[in-house]
Amino acid sequence: MSSLENKDNILDNSVDNSAENNAEATAAPSVPVETPQTDSEQQPAPSAETTTQPEEKAYSHLSREELVAELGGLIENAKASTVGEIKNAVEAIKQAFYKHQKEQNSVQDKGEEEVVEKITDSVEEKLKELLGKYKEIKASANAMLAEQKDKNLKLKEEILAKLEELTNSTEDLSTTIPAFRKLQQEWKNIGQIPQSAVNEIWKTYNKYQEKFYDLIKINNELREYDFKKNLELKNALCLAAEKLEEEPNAVTAFNTLQKLHEEWRETGPVAKEDREPLWNRFKEASSKINKKHQAYFESLKEHEEENLRLKTAICEKLEAIDTESLKTPKQWQAKIEEILALQEEWKKIGFATKKTNAKIYRRFREACDKFFKAKNSFYKGLKEEMANNLAKRKELLERVEALKETENWREAADKVKEIQKEWRTIGMTVKKHADEVWEKFSAACDYIFEQKNKLSEEQNAVEKENLAQKQAMVEKAKAFVPTGDRNNDVAALKEIMAEFDKIGFVPIKDKNAVNNEFKHAIDAQFDIVFDRRPKDGISDKAPVDNKYLKEYNALKKEIASYENNILFLTSSSKKGNSLVDEMNKKIESLKEKLAELSNKL
């Protein structure tokens, strides 16, 4: 009997498996029931909403170039038969790469002339090329898998045919049991088959197993031993499922639960009285994990919808920016800082829903690109304008430098003032060049004003000396005492007048006062010499004398006017300019006429 028990041990793993499957098939739809799948890969793949994102931790520290090199190494060694082993690594590298690229696309420099540009380079092109190769290998793998599944189906159909023969065989159990055990092992070693045939094939396989067990009538003691062993295994699975409730990560708990269900299906049956309570316990623990998993994804969906709302608000802010209203670098810089702040805010927000995440990112990227394109256009135009302004300022600098060669510093100073006014009307230039041109321009202006001030100081000293001399002549005219000899007195007064006229310029503020004082003093002496003092308030001046005196005074005023004007035109040059020469000739001519009138008087 010992030999028979050893032989039958493997058979008991499947005894009443169908009955237990029927009892346990009442699980909720969200709980994977004990379907007749022998391979974890035969299980339905988790939906797109419940798959976990690949880990990036192993690759987040690598640069974009290093990530591409890592991906190249994986794909170079990959084969169609092993492509599934690198799936998670490929996805993690891809996400880490575009995370790096996203960060580099957002902000590079806040400088006034720097722009956050979109990265499109050879590194990304290489990544896309490698991903394309990966897709080709994966497609080849899928084709091979489909072909292999068809082959596996034929192999299992062959085993079913052999099982059918065994169930109808009349041979001794010592022969049929090893043959049956061998067929079970072969069945287990066969891989996946097309999903559409799984249930039907498994039902047929189970039918033949049950039929074979009914035929061989396994020993009850051996049967109870296997039930006990399976009970221990399934109790351990229940305990493991119940402990999963303590797992904080709902996705990890759910994935672990799937593995527990696979183990449950691979574990043989238990005693009939234990089947339903045991399955209910396992199902209840599974239900809690499923609910937790579902709640997690519902919460995640709500969070993603909130992220979508926040990202949409940022896009609306970006799209509302009116770049046409930005006219100055200061306005642009303020708006750039606002954009960079929005980009930082964007990076802090998590993913939106899978359906909208790529779309909202494209909208955000397009709004940023539009702004920075307008910014680049503005600064390009600004550079051209600043270059033109620099050329204008250099031209003004040349004009001021040319004035340094003149000898008429007063005129040069007046021209410099006009040039300075023109300088202030020119817009901004590049600071690096503007400072250099300004220093030269300022130095040239200062030089001209210094020369003009030196001339003015010298002229002021001379004019003050001349004022003192003219005031002395005024006193001399007042102190003149007529001798009674008219001709001699007139000649003496003319000499005093000539001496007065020979004296140069006086300060313009004192000119009229000293001239008028001298004129009154001379006129008073002439009145005495010609006996023109008024009688009874009525002037007794001769008409002819009055006529000459008016003409004489008019000429003196005209000469004084010319002399006053020439004060502002006098050049320090010995030759002088043409205008000064012309005015000097005019003054000499007027003085000759004045001398003639003086003789007549």
Distance of alpha carbon 3 from alpha carbon 7, whole angstroms:
6
Q: Which two tokens stand for residue 431?
A: 């600071």
The pLDDT-based confidence of 279 (bands split at 50, 70, 90) is very high
170-181 confidence digits (pLDDT tens): 776 678 888 888
53-99 confidence digits (pLDDT tens): 444 457 878 888 888 888 888 877 776 567 777 888 888 888 888 88
The pLDDT-based confidence of 228 (bands split at 50, 70, 90) is confident
Say if residue 237's pLDDT is above 50.
Answer: yes
CA distances for 227 relative to 15, 16, 210, 260, 277, angstroms = 9, 10, 16, 19, 14
DSSP string for residues in 146-206: HHHHHHHHHHHHHHHHHHHHHHT--S-HHHHHHHHHHHHHHHHHS----HHHHHHHHHHHH
What is the reported pLDDT for 295?
A: 81
Return the higher-pLDDT residue of 217 and 114. 217
DSSP string for residues in 225-293: HHHHHHHHHHHHHHHHHHHGGG-S-HHHHHHHHHHHHHHHHHS----HHHHHHHHHHHHHHHHHHHHHH
Say if residue 430's pLDDT is above 90.
Answer: no
**What mean pLDDT value characterizes the chain?**
75
Mean pLDDT, rounded, for 128-135: 84
Say if residue 234's pLDDT is above 60.
Answer: yes
pTM of the model: 0.34
Mean pLDDT lowest among 27-36, 128-137, 377-386, 455-464: 27-36
Exposure string of 557-566, with b = 16+ CB inside 10 Å and e = fewer, is eebbeebeeb
Considering only CA atoms, give the Rg of the chain: 57
Q: Which two tokens stand for residue 283?
A: 């199902």
440-473 confidence digits (pLDDT tens): 888 888 887 777 777 666 667 777 788 888 888 8
* Contact present, 37 and 190 (Cβ < 8 Å): no
CA-based nearest residue to 573, from 409, 446, 412: 409
Say if residue 534's pLDDT is above 50.
Answer: no
Q: Which two tokens stand for residue 145?
A: 């898998």
| % of residues, the chain, pLDDT over 90 | 2
Return the higher-pLDDT residue of 190 and 22. 190
What is the reported pLDDT for 238?
A: 93
CA-based nearest residue to 494, from 468, 529, 465: 529
The full set of domain ranges for the chain reads 64-106+121-194, 222-302, 326-429, 446-530, 547-600
Mean pLDDT, rounded, for 316-345: 86
Max avg pLDDT among 82-91, 344-353, 361-370, 501-510: 361-370
Backbone angles phi, psi at 307, to 5 degrees: -60, -40
Return the higher-pLDDT residue of 329 and 42. 329
* Contact present, 296 and 250 (Cβ < 8 Å): yes
477-498 confidence digits (pLDDT tens): 888 888 888 888 888 888 888 8
Q: Which two tokens stand for residue 272?
A: 């009939």
* Contact present, 324 and 107 (Cβ < 8 Å): no
Mean pLDDT, rounded, for 495-509: 84
What is the reported pLDDT for 80?
A: 59
* Contact present, 500 and 473 (Cβ < 8 Å): yes
Mean pLDDT, rounded, for 191-207: 87
Return the higher-pLDDT residue of 38 and 159. 159
Mean pLDDT lowest among 186-195, 399-408, 540-549, 590-599: 540-549
Mean pLDDT, rounded, for 554-575: 62
The pLDDT-based confidence of 545 (bands split at 50, 70, 90) is low
Distance of alpha carbon 376 from alpha carbon 483, whole angstroms:
94
Q: Over 372-392, what HEC string results?
A: HHHHHHHHHHHHHHHHHHHHH
All residues at 6 or more sequence positions from 18 whose CB lies less than 8 Å from its CB, including other chains: 206, 207, 209, 210
Mean pLDDT, rounded, for 410-435: 80
| % of residues, the chain, pLDDT over 70 | 78
